[in-house]
């Protein structure tokens, strides 16, 4: 049995006849922040969606907490504690902030636990409490990203997969969101971070993977990837 919380083995995924992932393998140990970086179109989002079973892989395996989750419905994956914050936030724009947050808890029936976790979200992002009755579509991009993270936290994740949390967000709010990720990890949450801002992602994570055209080309400790001339030239602008 694997000691990894998440163990992705030789994953192949396609959209129609077009193969996007050509044998992706990666792992995440409980308590880690692991980053997955790469250029636009490399297959980063497809990797996350294949792990969460939103996209059904053609072959390979995804094991979470020692058990294969291949072929499960996405809601069954969430029930097991593997939760994704999607690219582009995808909040419900006509619902209030509080209603959006509570959508994250729709699979739960522990009322006291939900209230406790809602309080923790408000501690992490106080603006969400202040704007609980505000329509989510009127929030700024950064506030919507906080809302998307908060909604995911209400699902009670054991591992949180985050897809481009800095995309389209003002730098000051990016800093707050990355600080929140660091705090959540310090409290025991495991994170798989997909991020086009490679320097920020590798600065936050313990280990990293570099995805190119649907395959992992480099992997290792984030400090080594940051100092690798090939990574610097292709992704860090050095």
Domains (range + CATH), the chain:
6-236 (3.40.50.300)
**pLDDT score for 87:** 81
10: region left, alpha or beta (phi > 0 left; psi from -120 to 50 alpha): left
Can you give the pTM of this predicted structure? 0.91
Contact 183, 172 (CB under 8 A): no
Q: pLDDT per residue over 107-136, tens digit each?
A: 888 999 999 999 999 999 999 999 889 999
| HSE of 57, CA atoms in CB hemisphere, 13 A | 30
DSSP 68: E
- Judged by phi (left if over 0) then psi (alpha if -120 to 50, else beta), residue 34 lies in beta
**pLDDT tens-digit profile, the chain (238 residues):** 468 999 999 999 998 888 999 999 999 999 999 999 998 888 999 999 999 999 999 999 999 999 999 999 999 999 999 999 988 678 888 999 999 999 999 888 899 999 999 999 999 999 999 988 999 989 988 899 999 999 999 999 999 999 988 888 888 888 888 999 999 999 999 999 998 888 989 999 999 999 999 999 999 999 999 999 989 888 876 5
Cα distance between residue 72 and residue 63, in whole Å: 11
The answer to whether residues 85 and 160 touch, using CB atoms and an 8 Å cutoff, is yes
Q: Which residues contact 4 (CB under 8 A, 6 or more apart)?
A: 27, 28, 29, 63
Paired tokens of 186: 């310090």
- Residue 147 has phi, psi (to 5 degrees) of -65, -40
Candidates 190, 182, 236; CA nearest to 210 is: 236
68 - beta bridge partners? 63
């Amino acid at each position: 049995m694997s000691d990894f919380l998440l163990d992705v083995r030789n994953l192949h995924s396609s959209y129609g006849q077009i193969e996007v992932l050509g044998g992706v393998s990666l792992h995440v140990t409980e308590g880690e922040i692991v980053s997955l970086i790469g250029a636009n179109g490399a297959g980063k989002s497809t990797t996350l969606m294949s792990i969460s079973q939103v996209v059904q892989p053609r072959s390979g395996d995804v094991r979470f907490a020692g058990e294969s989750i291949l072929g499960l419905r996405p809601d069954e994956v969430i029930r097991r504690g593997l939760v994704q914050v999607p690219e582009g936030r995808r909040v419900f724009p006509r619902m209030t902030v509080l209603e959006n947050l509570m959508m994250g808890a729709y699979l739960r029936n522990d009322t006291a636990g939900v209230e406790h976790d809602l309080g923790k979200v408000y501690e992490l992002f106080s603006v969400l409490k202040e704007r609980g009755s505000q329509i989510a579509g009127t929030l700024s991009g950064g506030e919507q990203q906080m809302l998307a993270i908060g909604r995911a936290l209400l699902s009670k994740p054991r591992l949180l997969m985050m897809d481009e949390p800095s995309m389209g967000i003002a730098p000051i709010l990016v800093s707050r969101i990355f600080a929140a990720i660091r705090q959540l990890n310090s409290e025991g949450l495991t994170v798989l971070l997909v991020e086009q801002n490679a320097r920020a992602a590798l600065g936050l994570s313990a280990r990293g993977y570099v995805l190119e055209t649907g395959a992992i080309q480099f992997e290792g400790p984030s400090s080594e990837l940051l100092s690798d001339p090939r990574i610097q030239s292709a992704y860090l602008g050095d």
